[in-house]
Every structure is written in structure tokens, then in C-alpha cells.
Amino acid sequence: MKPVADANPDPPAQPSAPPSAPPADPRGALSGALPTGRSFPDGVPILIDAKAGVTLRAASARDLPAMVEQCRDPEMIRWTTVPTPDGGYQLRDAEEFLALTAASWTSGERLGWTIEGQRGAQRGFCGSIDLRLEGYGIAEVGFGLHPAARGRSIMKAALELVCGYGFDDLGLQVIRWRAVVGNWSSRRVASRVGFVFDGVIRRLLVHRGELLDGWIATLTRDDPRVPQPWLDPVEMPGQGVKLRAFQKSDVDRIVEACSDSRTSYWLISMPRPYRPKNALIYLDATAELAARAAGLTWCIADPADDRCLGSISLEGLGGYATRGEIGYWAHPDARGRGVVTEAVRLVTEYAKDSGLATSLLIRCASSNTASRRVAEREGYREIGIQHASEPVGDGEVADLVLYSTP
């Protein structure tokens, strides 16, 4: 099996020379000519990706009903600053947005397009995207997609068009992307276009009257516009189990498993008491590993009813070496059924077949006989002991037994 990943070599190192002094005009030489004074809608450039079936054009009155639908969508409200007046987003709000877009083209400070493509069974308004010009060759991109247009790579094509226009026509030096932490759909789009994830800035964004942590990523004019590495857990059927991606519907089962006394004894770093918010933090942490191509986590599920039976992870991936580490835990009602052993077999084969890792490690506390039996049943060889290195629930610090790939 091949890994599902948007893989490419590590991005090139950024130049380390100090920046030159800015020009006297803050929107001058570094950015090239900016489209100030453009008429709307006639002066708005039409950008087309024929292969993707996506066109960027000036917004018009015919877009307004679909625009209202988009801005009433719960995901738009959750992640963006779309207005939420009493009674919900109305036609008059869309009309105000259209007027603002027209004025912004005239000033040249925000360049906004309607995204036209296939929306459900019809072609038309699919969303909006804009470049907010900040001077010195810097711009920030923002976008939103109609719910009926999602899952079709429409936004990826739109973002590629806008970045191409920004760099090739406007002479921009860097385009920034920002989002509230947790907006995985938006981050995935930016990553697929080539934006390099720069990190988390605490209290970066004002959202619905709150200061929230924000993600930031950048794409420079010299960066390759190719997807950044991102791993996805491939679904794998096995004997009495299937491995799949975790879902929010698994939260209750995760809480049950991680509240169990045996689990908390061996995994002392788990919060106590373990609550649903802790399970959601865990799911975000596994998603972050995948987004950085540093690891994969699967839910061990019952193939009959899709119940979560446990978790198995493959971590420590990436870098110059093809090695990784397997970790796992089981829900109390799944113990003694061989489901974790089967999951280890599946992940071991997958890691090798995909080329993600040719050498694998499993570490178990010396007194955790159940966990050690899992490794031994799958042919992992004991290669050593790391003394007094694993705190456990009774306050003791246990030895760790190291097992290596069969």
C-alpha cells in the first residue's frame, strides 16, 4: 500500500540576508505596480483554470442568493468573521458586501473575486476569495466556499489562480494565510497549494468578540507551488478489526477508555479526570501530526458496528531516517480479544509497504505484561532496557523494554 500523502521534498531554506530599507511609497517598488483605480466590474481580471472548471470573476447581483446561503452556513459562522445579525445573514448584508468589494477594487487595497464552478447540479457561485494588499510586496489571502461546492478541490484551484496573479502580475513577494486554530479544511487547502506552515501565534485573531489562537502560513514568490507533505490514515481491514481515521463520534468511547484505571496507570500523562474536551484535544493532536507528516493515528474499530475499540499510532516519521515508533491503547471491553495485536500487524505491514518506516520501535513498561505480549506475538525482538525511565500510576518509575521490528 502506498501512503496517502501530498509529499514533496523539504521546502528550500529561506534567505537569511537582512531586508533592505522599504521604499518611500509603502505600496511601491517591492510589490510592483498595484491595480489602483481599477473600475468594477469591468476592470476585474478574469482568471480561469479550465481543467478544474473554475473561473474567478467580478461578483455580481446574481451571486447574492447563493452568497446568503454560504454565509448562513454553520461552518462559515464558526470559522470566519461573516456578520451574524439578528435573524441571520440577509440579502442586504450580501448587497453591502458587493458594494464593499467594488469600492475595494477602486482603492486597490483588497482584490476580491467570485469563485464560479460546479455547485451541486448547477454551475454558478461557489464562494469568494480575496487578496488584501498590505504594501512592501505583502498580501494576505482570505476565502470561503459554499457548502454545496465543498470536497471538489474548487478552492485549491481558486487559491492557485490568486497566488499566480499575485506573484506573476502584481509582483508580490509573499502571501500570508491565517486561520483560527482548528480550521483544518482551510489549512489543508493552503498546504495543498504550497503554503509553508509557520506555526501558532497565541491570541492572534479577533473572532466574535474573543481573542483566539491563530495559525499562520506563508508562500513566497520563490517557493515551489507544490503540495506540502500531509499524511492521511488509510482505512485497513483486518481479522476482527478495521483501522480508520478517528471521528468526533468516537469522543465518548475515547473518554471511557482513557478514564479507565488501567489505562491511566500506564499512561500517566493523561489528564485526570479525563473529559470530552480532553478527547477533542487528543484528536487535534493526532491531526497535527498528520498535517506535519510526522505521524499517523488510527482508530481501531469493530468492523461490525464501527465502535471505537482503541487507538494505534505510528510516530516519529519524517526527516532523514526511515524509522518510526508504534504506540497503542485499548478500550476496556476490547481487551483480551487480540484486536491490538492485529492492529500492530496491520500498521507494521503498512509502514514497510508504504516506505514510511523500515525500522520500527515499540516501548513498554517492563511490568506491563499485556503490552509486551502484543509486541512479542507480532515477532518484535527485545533489543534492550532503558532503566528507570517511565513513570507509572503508583508513583514508581519503571524500566522501559525496547522492541524492534521483526
Residue the block writes with cell 509529499: 7
- What global pTM score does this model have? 0.87
For residues 91 and 70, what is the distance between their CA atoms, to the nearest angstrom? 12
* Out of 29-43, 122-136, 213-227, 387-401, least confident range: 29-43
Q: Is the pLDDT assigned to residue 9 strictly greater than 50?
A: no
pLDDT in tens, 330-387: 999 999 999 999 999 999 999 999 999 999 999 999 999 999 999 999 999 999 999 9
> Per-residue pLDDT for 12 more than 90?
no
Tell me: the pLDDT tens digits for 106-133?
Answer: 999 899 999 999 988 889 999 999 999 9
Domains belonging to the chain, first-starting first, are: 4-228 (3.40.630.30), 232-404 (3.40.630.30)
DSSP 330: E
Residue 34's pLDDT band (cuts 50, 70, 90): low
Q: Assess whether pLDDT exceeds 60 at residue 304.
A: yes
Spatial separation of the C-alpha atoms in residues 36 and 27, rounded to whole Å: 10
Q: What are 171-208's pLDDT values in tens digits?
A: 999 999 999 999 999 999 999 999 999 999 999 999 99
For 259-279, how does the pLDDT look when each residue is reduced to its tens digit (9 = 90+)? 999 999 999 999 999 999 999
Question: How big, in percent rounded to 5, are the helix, strand and coil portions of the chain?
Answer: 30, 30, 35
Q: Is residue 209 exposed (0-12), middle (13-18) or buried (19+ Cβ within 10 Å)?
A: exposed
Cα separation, 99 vs 94, in Å, equals 9
Q: Residue 110, class by beta-carbon neighbours within 10 Å (0-12 exposed, 13-18 middle, 19+ buried)?
A: middle
Nearest to 19 by CA among 128, 118, 138: 138
For position 13, what pLDDT does the model report?
33
